Structure formats: C-alpha cells, structure tokens
C-alpha cells in the first residue's frame, strides 16, 4: 500500500508508504509481574523517520528489541559465550545486522529503487526485566534527492521483521525549504524514537 505525499521545495512531490502500528501484549498463565518493556518482553519495535530536504533524504532508523528477542540474538552477539557483549563482538554483530536491515528498507524515487548509504550507528543494551538486557540500535542512512525544480514521487517501506509483533512507526518530515503538501504518514514523532510509548496509542494504535 502506497501513501501519497507531495513535497514543495521547487515544487516537489513525495509519496511514501506508511505502515501502521502493530502491537500485542502477551498474557501468561503465571503470577502477574511488571514488564520492563511497555509493549511486552517479546516485541521487536521499529521506527523510521524520513527527512527530505536540500540534496538528500535522511532516514533515521531505530530498532528496539525487548528481552526475549535479545536473548534469541545473544549467540550471534556474544560469540565467545562469556556472557559479556564485548566491543569487538558488537562491531562484528553490527557488520552482519546492518546490511540485512538496509536491504529491507525500500525507497523508490519515480519508480527507481534507491540505495542507502550508512551514515551513523549506535548499539546499546538497556537493562530489562529480571536482569536481562534489551537491544537498541540507532542508525542513520542517506541517499541523494532528485534535483531541485523537478517533480518526483517516492515510496518507502520497512520490510524488516515481517510478521513479528511490535510497534512500527513511520514519519515523514520536510526540511530546508521543502514543503510537505499531503501525506497520511504523520510528521510528528509519537514515541520519541521508541523511548516513550504513548499510553493512549498502546490502547488504540493508529493504522
């Protein structure tokens, strides 16, 4: 499903695919405990912010894995099995993970697939429930925008972790004199890059 956008900078048209938010809470037949992750300890949550302006499009992509998927990824991170995510192990894990993520972040301009270039990356492991870590990846990618003064259309979709439960947020923002004329994808960051999930949206997430 594609989402129409129009960007006016020179003038410019922009169309992006907005994927709604999906989440679920796991109900377990065990005594109630407080979950460290607000969406449940099994979720994989994703955030994409497209900033269109000047001569480039920047994608800020955030991945937030709760306790269970982080534990499932542990053998790929802690390769020597000593229980510590050492810097060299983290670098090796990112070298494997980021190309896979990048391959599934699909952007087309006027129907032509675009290639992202990795601009920054930061991996951390915030503490979760029962002493288990969670995983947080903050990354940025860039690609060239069409020449100013031309009309163009674009579409974007995040195909990572298809079928996995979790929060999925896509926002589109115009910068540097580019005006976003219409979009069904919001320009407002609802979760502060997956650091503050709004309670009202967890009860009734936008689609």
* Domain housing 128: 6-25+34-195
Number of domains in the chain: 1
Among 118, 122, 109, smallest CA distance to 141 is for 118
Task: Quote the pLDDT of residue 154.
Answer: 83
Between CA 158 and CA 18 the distance in angstroms is 9
Between CA 36 and CA 127 the distance in angstroms is 8
- Is residue 206 a part of any domain in this protein? no
- Is residue 1 a part of any domain in this protein? no
- Is residue 84 a part of any domain in this protein? yes
- Is residue 204 a part of any domain in this protein? no
- Is residue 131 a part of any domain in this protein? yes
Q: What percent of the chain has pLDDT over 90?
A: 59
* Rg for the chain, CA atoms, rounded: 18
- Is residue 205 a part of any domain in this protein? no
- Using an 8 Å Cβ cutoff, are 103 and 96 in contact? no
- Is residue 167 a part of any domain in this protein? yes
Report the pLDDT averaged over residues 92-106: 98
Task: Quote the pLDDT of residue 13.
Answer: 42
On average, the pLDDT of the chain sits at 81
Condensed to tens digits (0 to 9), the pLDDT of residues 142-179 reads: 999 887 667 778 889 999 999 899 999 999 998 877 77
- Is residue 207 a part of any domain in this protein? no
Q: What is the DSSP letter of 30?
A: S
């Amino acid at each position: 499903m594609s989402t129409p956008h129009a960007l006016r900078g020179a003038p410019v048209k922009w169309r992006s695919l907005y994927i709604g938010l999906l989440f679920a809470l796991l109900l377990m037949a065990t005594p109630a405990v407080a979950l460290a992750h607000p969406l449940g300890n099994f979720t994989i949550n994703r955030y994409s912010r497209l900033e269109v302006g000047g001569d480039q499009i920047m994608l800020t992509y955030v991945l937030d894995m709760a306790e269970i998927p982080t534990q499932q990824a542990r053998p790929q991170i802690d390769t020597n099995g000593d229980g510590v995510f050492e810097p060299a192990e983290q670098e090796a894990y990112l070298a494997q993970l980021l190309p896979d993520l990048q391959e599934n972040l699909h952007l087309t301009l006027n129907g032509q697939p675009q290639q992202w270039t990795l601009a920054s990356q930061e991996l951390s492991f915030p503490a979760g429930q029962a002493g288990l870590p969670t995983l947080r990846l903050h990354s940025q990618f860039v690609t060239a925008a069409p020449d100013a003064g031309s009309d163009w259309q674009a579409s974007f979709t995040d195909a990572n972790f298809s079928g996995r439960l979790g929060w999925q947020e896509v926002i589109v923002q115009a910068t540097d004199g580019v005006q976003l004329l219409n979009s069904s994808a919001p320009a407002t960051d609802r979760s502060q890059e997956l650091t503050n999930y709004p309670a009202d949206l967890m009860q009734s997430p936008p689609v």
